[in-house]
Amino acid sequence: MAGHEMVHNAMYAPHEYDAGISSVDQISFLNGEDDIPRITRIDSAEVVYRAHRRAKLVGKYLMGDILGEGSYGKVKEALDTETLQRRAIKIIKRRKLRKINNGEQNVKREIQLLKRLKHRHIIDLSDLLENEEKQKMYMIMEYCVGELQELLEAAPDKRFPIFQAHRYFRQLVEGLEYLHSQGIVHKDIKPGNLLLSTEEILKITDLGVAEAIDAFARDDTCHTSQGTPAFQPPEIANGLESFSGFKVDIWSSGVTLYNMTTGVYPFEGDNIFKLFENIGKGQYQIPDGVEDNLKDLLTGMLQYEAANRIALEDIKKHDWVRRKHPVTPGFVAFKPIQGHEDMLRGFTVIPYLEDLHFHNSEEEEDEDYEDHYYSNMINTHPHAEPAVAGAQNSNNCESHEAEKKKKRKTKSGLLSSCHPS
Ligand SMILES: Nc1ncnc2c1ncn2[C@@H]1O[C@H](COP(=O)(O)OP(=O)(O)OP(=O)(O)O)[C@@H](O)[C@H]1O
């Protein structure tokens, strides 16, 4: 590269870029004194990607950053512009769903179940929106900081101090007790499906493979399972045609407790066949150092025969569960999300709010920008306010043109224009 000097780009120090520049090696052209374009190349790890946040309203929800991504789609943070509550929105693309094995069926089931469940330890589905034109579904849920799995991965020995594990386990048992009282078997209890709210309240989530026992069924017999292999009991690993659903959840909660307190799993395997073979044999060790009380509880929950497995009411009465555990050092807290230095996982909607209220009016004519305001939302949640539900196929928000006019009049116009009244 004769005549070209490798320099750091002082204009953008410390390597902050606006939207439109990819996060791979950055190349920028500068005109030096000699007017020869110079190339700056810096490592992608050094780049702080500062996207210009364009406000996007889905119904009355102002979208924030992505919180995570599952097999069915992205989950974004959002602000309910009417109640000012922090929300998490799972965005499901119907086209993508059709390509996933049991995808449509699982999402439909999860929505049906979540609509009828209301409990402190079950994730709350507060709203449900559909955009038929875009073939997208929006599941509006209460906001959580993250999963227990993420916390475990951040912990030094991949486990929690006993008092912390105990705190979460008690809440899991309460949530499970409610689910079972409603005749629902979760079938996929694991740290990855346990979220924590900002008040550190545990929320059982992901009911995609759950099963509602028929109200007239004699017992909790189930015939199918799609849960995560490492958390499945021997009756499933051995391919039994029918099994007790509630006892599956007891086993999976036992594996979860084992994992939270020891940092390892009772059964492992290089592949699913090996793993199921090991679970099927039912031989496992509890690591040294686990106190007898906890050992007794784990042994009860990981009983090979489902009929011998400890029941929920006895778990609640178990000494390890009832006891108060002393607070010790080493509490595991969430780490900042990559790219966000905020330890408290602050509200990511604020830059979008700024854009909504203060953005350059010239941008209003930008086609792309207009695309960010969705109308034609259908509210399909049973508890939807009539004014919103009645807005089907017309506009949940006012028409886009009206919105634009109103926005020109007042900076806060768009927010108020989204109220159903
Ligand atoms: N209510 C919520 N609040 C905050 N973050 C959430 C919420 N729900 C999900 N997330 C985040 O979004 C990510 C994706 O969640 P989602 O439920 O779609 O998938 P998953 O359970 O991780 O995976 P899969 O659906 O493939 O089993 C999660 O890993 C979690 O970090």
pLDDT in tens, 217-258: 999 999 988 999 999 999 999 999 999 999 999 999 999 999
What average pLDDT does this structure show over 401-414? 39
Is residue 146 within 6 Å of ligand 1 at its C-beta?
yes
> Residue 376 — very low, low, confident or very high, per pLDDT cuts 50/70/90?
very low
User: Residue 36 pLDDT > 60, yes or no?
Assistant: no
Q: Given the CA of residue 203, which atom of ligand 1 is nearest to it?
A: 1
> Active-site residues: which are they?
188
pLDDT digits 0-9 by tens, 274-296: 999 999 999 999 999 999 999 99
pLDDT digits 0-9 by tens, 170-189: 999 999 999 999 999 999 99
Is residue 206 within 6 Å of ligand 1 at its C-beta?
yes
Three-class DSSP category at 147: strand
Nearest Cα residue to atom 22 of ligand 1: 70
Mean pLDDT of the chain: 80
Contact 109, 180 (CB under 8 A): no
pLDDT value at residue 304: 98
> Residue 351 — very low, low, confident or very high, per pLDDT cuts 50/70/90?
confident
User: Residue 405 pLDDT > 60, yes or no?
Assistant: no
pLDDT value at residue 43: 65
Helices and strands, counts by H and E, the chain: 15, 19
Phi, psi for 331 (deg, rounded to 5) = -55, 135
User: What is the CATH code for 57-142?
Assistant: 3.30.200.20
User: Residue 264 pLDDT > 80, yes or no?
Assistant: yes
Rounded CA gap, 366 and 246, in Å?
Answer: 55
**Domain regions of the chain by residue span:** 5-46, 57-142, 147-322
Q: Which helix (H) or strand (E) holds 247?
A: helix 245-262
pLDDT value at residue 28: 36
pLDDT value at residue 134: 92
User: Residue 416 pLDDT > 70, yes or no?
Assistant: no
The alpha carbon of 75 and the centre of ligand 1 are apart by a number of angstroms equal to 6
User: Residue 406 pLDDT > 90, yes or no?
Assistant: no
Contact 280, 232 (CB under 8 A): no
Is residue 110 within 6 Å of ligand 1 at its C-beta?
no
Instruction: Give the residue, 337 or 248, on which the prediction is more confident.
Output: 248
Minimal CA–CA distance to 219: which of 195, 243, 199? 243
> Helices 162-181 and 245-262 sit at what angle, rounded to 10 degrees?
170
Q: For residue 294, what are its two tokens?
A: 């906890």
> Residue 18 — very low, low, confident or very high, per pLDDT cuts 50/70/90?
very low
The alpha carbon of 76 and the centre of ligand 1 are apart by a number of angstroms equal to 9
pLDDT digits 0-9 by tens, 307-333: 999 999 999 999 999 999 999 999 999
Is residue 22 within 6 Å of ligand 1 at its C-beta?
no
Domains 57-142 and 147-322 belong to one CATH topology: no
The alpha carbon of 74 and the centre of ligand 1 are apart by a number of angstroms equal to 8
Minimal CA–CA distance to 253: which of 318, 199, 348? 318
- Per the listing, tokens 């086609």 go with 367
Examine residue 233 and say whether the peptide bond preceding it is cis (omega within 30 degrees of 0): no
Could you report the predicted ipTM of this complex, rounded to two decimals?
0.97
E-strand stretches of 334-406: 373-374, 377-379
Rounded CA gap, 248 and 256, in Å?
Answer: 12
CATH architecture under which domain 147-322 falls: Orthogonal Bundle (1.10)
Q: For residue 285, what are its two tokens?
A: 């060790």
Rounded CA gap, 102 and 106, in Å?
Answer: 6
Residue 338 to residues 18, 67, 257, 335, Cα–Cα distance (Å): 17, 11, 28, 9
- Per the listing, tokens 């994992």 go with 259
E-strand stretches of 250-407: 373-374, 377-379
Instruction: Tell me the torsion sign for CA atoms 165, 167, 169, 175.
Output: negative
pLDDT value at residue 373: 46
User: Residue 20 pLDDT > 60, yes or no?
Assistant: no
Rounded CA gap, 272 and 254, in Å?
Answer: 20
What average pLDDT does this structure show over 354-380? 57
What average pLDDT does this structure show over 86-94? 96
- What is the percentage of the chain residues whose pLDDT exceeds 90? 62
Annotated binding site for ATP: 90
Contact 86, 344 (CB under 8 A): no
> Residue 361 — very low, low, confident or very high, per pLDDT cuts 50/70/90?
low
Q: Beta partners for 223?
A: none
The alpha carbon of 332 and the centre of ligand 1 are apart by a number of angstroms equal to 20
pLDDT value at residue 392: 34
pLDDT value at residue 321: 98
Contact 75, 82 (CB under 8 A): no
Residue 193 to residues 196, 209, 297, Cα–Cα distance (Å): 10, 12, 22
Contact 230, 237 (CB under 8 A): no
Q: How far apart are the first and last CA of the chain?
A: 64
User: Residue 297 pLDDT > 60, yes or no?
Assistant: yes
Residue of 65, 67, 141, 149 with the most ligand 1 atoms within 8 Å of its CB, for mutation: 67
Is residue 191 within 6 Å of ligand 1 at its C-beta?
no
Is residue 190 within 6 Å of ligand 1 at its C-beta?
no
Instruction: Give the residue, 51 or 208, on which the prediction is more confident.
Output: 208
